[in-house]
Structure 1
C-alpha cells in the first residue's frame, strides 16, 4: 500500500502520494477559483503550465501542440488576457518533454490521472471520465511518454479523487461502452454477457443496482484494469481513497450538485 498524505498551502489542503517523487498535487475545492498558473507555486517549483480545454475525449497533447493551439481572445494591446480570455486546444490530456513543465487537468467527479517516469522525470496528466476511459485516454497518455523514451517499468500512475463506484449509477449502455475497453468482444455473444462478466470479476468494476437497466460503475477500477492489461504491475498504480461525491467538504461533485465547478490536479516534470 502507498501512503496518501494531506499537505497544506496557504492553509488549504491538497493530496499527494508517496508513489511518485515528482512534485504533484490533487487540489481540493478550497482552492477555487485559483488556476494552475497559481497552484503550481504550491508544489514548490517554477514551471511552464500545460493545460487544455477538456472535452471528454482521448486526445493527449505535447507542449508544442498546446502552444500552437492556444490563442488570446484579447485584441487590445493595453490589456493582458485573463484565463477566460484565452482559447485553448481541445484535449483531455497533456505531457511534458522537458524539465520544469507542469501538466494539469481539472475534474468534478471524473478521474484525474497523474503519470510519472521515475527514470526520465517526464510526466503526463489525463482527465479520465467514463467517456475518456472508454477511449483509453490513460493508456494513450502512457504511449505518448513511451514515444519519447519511457519504459513501462519506470512509470508510476496516480488515480486521484473521483466518484466512487458504489455511488455512481449509470445505464447499461454506458457500462457496456466502457466495458468494451477491457474485454475481448470475441469471447461474448451478447452485450449483456459483457455486463455479467464485469459484475463477476474478483475485483469488479461494475456493481449491482436496484434500478432496472442500471448498474454502479467504478471508473477508476476500469482504468486500473486497462493499466494491468497494458503491462503495468499493480504496485505501479495507486488509487486515492477519496470520493468526490461523498466528501462535500473537500471536493466539488457535478453528480451531487449539477454545478460546473472543478478542482485541479497537476504534476511537474523534473
Structure 2
C-alpha cells in the first residue's frame, strides 16, 4: 500500500482519502551537501540554514502550499499536541504533534529514526502529524494527537493513521536499562521487545509499538510503511547511524500532510 519515489513515499490509505495531500519525504531531491545530502529539512541542524529552508520550500511546493504554510513544531520528545489554525507568528511551540482543520496549512514533523505518524479524518476534515520517539510514544503522543483531533470534530473510528520510515527492530538495540524503563511506564509494551540471540541485548520494535498505541486510541485503519531509516542510507537520515559513524550531526527528513 506504499508507492515509493526518490523523494517521497505515499501511504495507500491516506492517498485514497479525499481532500488531502501527504508525503513521507526521503533525503533525496534537495540541495544540501555532505552529511546533509540532500533534502535535509532540519533547520535546527548545523546545515546551511538557507539550504534547509530551500529544501522545505521544495516540500511545500510538492504539497501545493506556499513555503510559509508548511509548519513544524520545536520537537522535545513529549506527549504534547497543539492545534494550529495559521502559520506560527513567532517561534514554533514546543510540541511533538500538530493538528489542524485549516485547508492549505501543511503540518509536518522531522525525524531521523523516530517514527513519523500522519493522521487524517477525511469526514471531519482534520489532519495531524506526530513525532513518535520512544519517549513520546510511551508517554502518550498518539493519544494526545487523537484527543486534539477529537476536539476539532474527528472520530477515532474514522481516523486513518500511517506510520512512516523509522529505525527497525533488527537494528534498534536498546539495552536492559531502556527495556526496564519502558516496561515500568507501560508493562503492555513487553511484546515489542526481542532479545538478540547473538548479543543477549534487547531490541525494540518502535513502529509496531506506535501502531499498538494507535489501536489503543481507538483507531482501526493503521498502516506501517515498514522501511528502516538506519538500514537505507541512500534514502534516509539516521541519528543512530550518524553516531556509529562518528559524525558530528545528522540530517532530518520531513513527513507532512495538508487539507486541500
Same fold (TM over 0.5): yes
Aligned to 1:257, the other structure's residue is in SS state: helix
Aligned to 1:252, the other structure's residue is in SS state: coil
In 1: Cα distance, 2:124 partner to 2:235 partner: 33
Aligned residue-pair number: 227
Output the TM-score relative to the length of structure 1. 0.77
Query: After superposition, where does 1:168-187 map in structure 2 within 5 Å?
Result: 168-180=172-184, 182-183=186-187
Contact 1:29–1:252 (CA under 8 A) maintained in structure 2: yes
Output the TM-score relative to the length of structure 2. 0.80
In 1: Cα distance, 2:10 partner to 2:255 partner: 10
How far the C-alpha of 1:166 sits from its partner, in A, is: 1.2
Q: Identify which of 44, 55, 58 aligns with 2:76.
A: 55
CA RMSD of aligned residues (A): 2.1
In the other structure, the counterpart of 1:246 is: 231
Contact 1:52–1:66 (CA under 8 A) maintained in structure 2: no
In the other structure, the counterpart of 1:43 is: 63
Contact 2:70–2:87 (CA under 8 A) maintained in structure 1: no
In 2: Cα distance, 1:50 partner to 1:207 partner: 36
Aligned to 2:174, the other structure's residue is in SS state: strand
Higher CA-based Rg: 1
- The answer for unaligned runs of 5 or more in structure 1 is 72-86, 185-193, 199-203
In 2: Cα distance, 1:140 partner to 1:17 partner: 22
Contact 1:205–1:219 (CA under 8 A) maintained in structure 2: yes
- The answer for unaligned runs of 5 or more in structure 2 is 29-38, 41-51, 244-248
User: Residues 118-157 of structure 1, C-alpha deviation per residue, up to 9 Å, x if partnerless?
Assistant: 2122110011111111111012101100111111111000
- The list of structure 1 runs, each at least 4 consecutive aligned residues, that deviate by more than 4 angstroms after superposition, is none
User: Residues 22-41 of structure 1, C-alpha deviation per residue, up to 9 Å, x if partnerless?
Assistant: 21011111123344343121
